[in-house]
Amino acid sequence: MIKKLSAEAIGTFWLVFGGCGSAVVAAGFPELGIGFVGVALAFGLTVLTMAYAVGPISGGHFNPAVTLGCAVAGRCEWSDVIPYWIAQIAGGTLAALALYIIASGTLDWTPGAFASNGFGEFSPGGYSLGSVLLVEVILTAGFIFVILGATQRGAPPGFAPIAIGLCLTLIHLVAIPVSNTSVNPARSTAMAFFAETPALSQLWVFWLAPLVGAAIGAFLWTTVLDND
């Protein structure tokens, strides 16, 4: 179990450091040309690379919503859910701390939103609570659906991380303007700790919506398409 939890902590660290780091460190420099597309790709690449690196050890969740979806679908034990969540939050928070230290090394730097998630005036596009809830539920359900499909028996072996990473990239391309894209409560929690905005007070949204979406995606998969 220690190896599994270590893999989840390291994988979530990489996801937050690489994905959120691309937003905190690089996206603010137009001359680098990264923008929303670059941030979306960075998140996809973090999952793709760590799924190959440690996926065989822990399943490569790096996300409490994924862990819940796998439990609902019978792909992991319910007794693993809380330990996985703790490891994921710990890894993500360490990554956010490292990013805070790195980013604060420039003159006149302020954390601002610090790549956190939000709704209303704290949504990148000013989207309402209802819009944010709906996009997070739908996209998390789709993410779980893709994960379960890509990792089912009979799926092309060795390609699951590619499908999952590209799916996360697509999710960010859709949701960055709406919610700054969560679909991952550990990622949202980690960055909220360091934001100057009321990200912590809005954090409940980015636990509720992804977890509901994960349960919906897993239920749909297991009742409609499951071949395992």
Q: If you average pLDDT over every residue of the chain, what do you get?
A: 92
User: Within 13 Å of residue 73, how many CA atoms lie on the same side as its CB?
Assistant: 30
Q: Of the candidates 45, 49, 54, 48, which has an alpha carbon nearest to the alpha carbon of residue 6?
A: 54
Amino acid identity of 18?
A: G
What pTM did the predictor assign? 0.92
The domain total for the chain is 1
Higher per-residue confidence, 157 vs 186: 186
Q: Which domain does 45 fall in, by range?
A: 2-225
In this prediction, what percent of the chain has a pLDDT beyond 70?
96
pLDDT tens figures, 129-139:
999 999 999 99
Q: 156: pLDDT confidence band, cut at 50, 70 and 90?
A: confident
pLDDT average, residue stretch 30-45: 83
Q: Express each pLDDT in 48-73 by its tens digit.
A: 999 999 999 999 999 999 999 999 99
The answer to whether 162 and 86 are in contact (CB under 8 A) is no
Give, in order, the Cα–Cα distances in Å from 98 to each of 18, 80, 101, 156, 224.
11, 27, 5, 37, 43
| pLDDT band, residue 108 (cuts 50/70/90) | confident
- Better pLDDT: 147 or 108: 147
Residue 88 scores a pLDDT above 70: yes
With bands split at pLDDT 50, 70 and 90, how would you rate the model's confidence at 224? Answer: confident
Tokens 């230290």 sit at which residue? 101
Q: Inform me whether the pLDDT recorded for 29 exceeds 80.
A: no
CATH number of the CATH domain containing 183: 1.20.1080.10
